[in-house]
Amino acid sequence: MSTHQSMDRICAAALALTLLLTILFVNGEALGLQPASRAQGYETRLFDTARVHTIDIVMDGWEDFIETCENEEYAACAVVIDGVKCTSCRMCATFCPTGAIAKFDEADGAMGVTHTPADCVKCGSCQDICPAGAITILDEVRASWLVDGSRHRYAMTPRAVDLADNPHQILDTFRQTFNGDIFER
């Protein structure tokens, strides 16, 4: 409770003023007041379609290219993995900077890597890291592999290294791959 004598009168005056302003704003047009502009001014400048530039890209012979792309060669690259030489370490996928080579592990136990030629930039990291020399980089790739997003799947034999509950899995894999020439700090 307030101790001021005229607090009730002050609250009643504030309420009356609030109601009067509400009625004035709601019925302002009927009382002759001009409404504020609905457009703020910047909207017409911001959304001015006369300033928007468009580019129409026209490619002659696109349909013919799509029909014959299986016979065309494109100077990009693709990776071929020799299944006989491969030791299934999958280091190629680990060190691929673009993700063109990616690991897969399936519920049925199948494992290996996939290669997407459209994502390959021919950096050679996979070939350099492969301890068995099982990777060959092709200089020419079928255009259809790039257009349709082909992904080549290389199934691999699981490694002898214990992959379950082994805190030194990577270190053990390196030791086995490089004949024990890896040391821990």
- pLDDT tens by residue, 81-134: 888 888 888 889 988 888 999 999 888 888 999 998 888 888 888 898 898 899
Least confident of 14-23, 152-161, 170-179: 170-179
pTM of the model: 0.48
Work out the mean pLDDT of the chain and round it to a whole number.
76
96 contacts 125 by C-beta, under 8 angstroms? yes
Residue 40 has pLDDT above 80, yes or no: no
Residues 6+ apart with CB under 8 A from 156: 83, 86, 88, 90, 111, 112, 113
What is the dihedral sign for C-alpha 23, 24, 29, 32?
positive
- pLDDT tens by residue, 47-64: 556 655 555 556 677 677
Domains annotated on the chain, with CATH: 73-177 (3.30.70.20)
